């Protein structure tokens, strides 16, 4: 877990440097920063979609438990990791639309 935190911190510094970069490659730096930022959530979504192929699951006894809701009499279980990653991807999409 420590290596993941250090990895995210280093990528964040690189992404900020790319965003703050001035000059003829400013726009390219922004798009590269967006791509680097989206790599981890997109990898999560690929694993989420293909988890049945490798026998994966969203539940981990030591992880964050899913939220259980009742909507219209039906039970619904929402994985919080999925919700956070989906929110991140939607935020990145909104930033990209605003930047264009």
Q: Domain of residue 56: give its range.
A: 2-99
pLDDT at residue 1 in the model: 66
The per-residue b/e assignment along 53-80, b for 16 or more CB within 10 angstroms, e otherwise, is eeeeeeeeeeeeebeeeeeeeeeeeebe
Burial class (CB in 10 A: 0-12, 13-18, 19+), 37: buried
Q: How many domains does the chain have?
A: 1
Q: What confidence category does residue 2 fall into, taking pLDDT thresholds of 50, 70 and 90?
A: confident
- Give me the chain's average pLDDT, please: 90
Whether the per-residue pLDDT at 52 is higher than 70: the answer is: yes
Whether the per-residue pLDDT at 61 is higher than 80: the answer is: no
- Helix and strand tally (H, E) in the chain? 4, 2
């Amino acid at each position: 877990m420590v290596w993941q935190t250090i990895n995210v911190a280093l990528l964040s510094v690189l992404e900020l440097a790319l965003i703050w970069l001035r000059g003829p490659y400013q726009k390219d730096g922004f798009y590269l920063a967006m791509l680097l930022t989206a790599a981890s959530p997109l990898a999560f979504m690929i694993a989420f979609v293909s988890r049945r192929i490798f026998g994966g699951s969203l539940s981990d006894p030591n992880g964050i438990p899913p939220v259980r809701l009742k909507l219209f009499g039906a039970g619904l279980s929402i994985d919080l990791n999925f919700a956070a990653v989906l929110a991140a991807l939607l935020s990145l999409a909104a930033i990209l639309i605003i930047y264009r």
